[in-house]
Amino acid sequence: MKVSFPYMGTSQIAFRALLEDLGHEVVVSSPGKRTLTLGTKHAPEFACIPFKILLGTYIEALEEGSDMIITSGGHGPCRAGHYGQLHEEILRDLGYDFEMVVFESLTDDFRDFFTNIRKVTGDEISWWQILRLLRKGWARLKALDAVEKLSHKVRPRELKQGATTEAFYKAQKMIGEAETTAEVKEAKKAGIKLLQHVEQDEDYVPLKIGLVGEIYVVLEPSANLEIEKTLGEMGVEVDRSIYLTEWTTDHTFFMPNEETVEEAARPYLNQLVGGHGQESIGNTVLYAQDGFDGVIQLAPFTCIPEIVAKSILPQVSKDYNIPFLTLFLDEKTGKAGTITRLEAFVDLLARRRDIERGELS
């Protein structure tokens, strides 16, 4: 069967491998200009950029013969929880014939969750084999997150621009091609070594910026115009507040959540407003407490949870003396203009740090 799923950062490597292990042909590719054009053409005008990018990727996958689209649902005030159903209606109106499988949270409906697993795996594979494949997929996701975190520390210190990105891509390839869980772990070690061997200026002390915001635009480079790479090559160490493995642990597995972020946000926003609005506030407080130089909030244009967060962030910035920059993203956002705004923000932070150190009057 030909299957597709939402393309989101490096997670597509793990999901592709998992579905290929199940015997499917995977139809998914990195979102490009045509992807966004298709999504924008067929989406409601008020829809956010993640909705449009995903719709565009689904159309491209169906054009290539995909039989099934696998996606996730959600609950709470954020409209993203209904995107699976809305995408399906639009695609059927366009005349496509396919099966849509929407995974809601395991805690919402056990029966529905496991029924969906069987739709994807078929009945011939045992639950034990499924569990083993899921464990391997989880190890692959963790390995990808680990090398990506390290790349954010190495890139601002690299002596040859692009060396970190090249090593990171090689690490992704090794992790993606590993065939067993043991090989995934070995590939992770090899990927970390590759990044550690990138020539670096060990004496350089970069500015540190935390990234907060809505999960899709934070994780997917095509949506955020490669902001992590751009900032890294400006000499800035980036810390991302969301990684898929950490988010999944907090929201899917019955693990007790670390309430630090929620507690940090509580004086300013004491309830869930959908999406990651509350987390954007809490993480900004935590970044300030950890001595970061600034915070960048990434938000899809029209995203209500992030609009709520943006209205509160000026007070957080004042109370904790930490500058922040909000970037709203949609199909009209240009990379050149975004880079100019980032350069201005980084210059401001650098000047501020120099004044605090007494190196500039």
Mean pLDDT, each 10-residue run in order, the chain (361 residues): 95 96 95 96 93 96 97 79 92 97 83 92 94 96 97 98 97 97 97 98 96 96 96 97 84 60 94 88 96 97 93 97 96 94 97 87 65
Q: What is the pLDDT of residue 258?
A: 54
- Extract the tokens encoding 347: 């210059």
Q: What is the pLDDT of residue 81?
A: 83
Q: What is the pLDDT of residue 358?
A: 82
Coil, helix or strand at residue 237: strand
What does the DSSP 8-state code read for residue 293?
Answer: S
Q: What is the pLDDT of residue 248?
A: 79
Q: What is the pLDDT of residue 273?
A: 84
Q: Which of 82, 60, 58, 62 is nearest to 72 (CA)?
A: 82
- Extract the tokens encoding 203: 């004496």
Q: How many CB atoms lie under 10 A from the CB of residue 176?
A: 18
Q: What is the pLDDT of residue 257?
A: 54
Q: Which of 3, 6, 10, 2 is nearest to 228 (CA)?
A: 10
Question: Burial of 237 by CB count in 10 Å (0-12 exposed, 13-18 middle, 19+ buried)?
Answer: buried
Q: What is the pLDDT of residue 95?
A: 97
> Taking a C-beta distance cutoff of 8 angstroms, is the pair 320, 267 a contact?
no
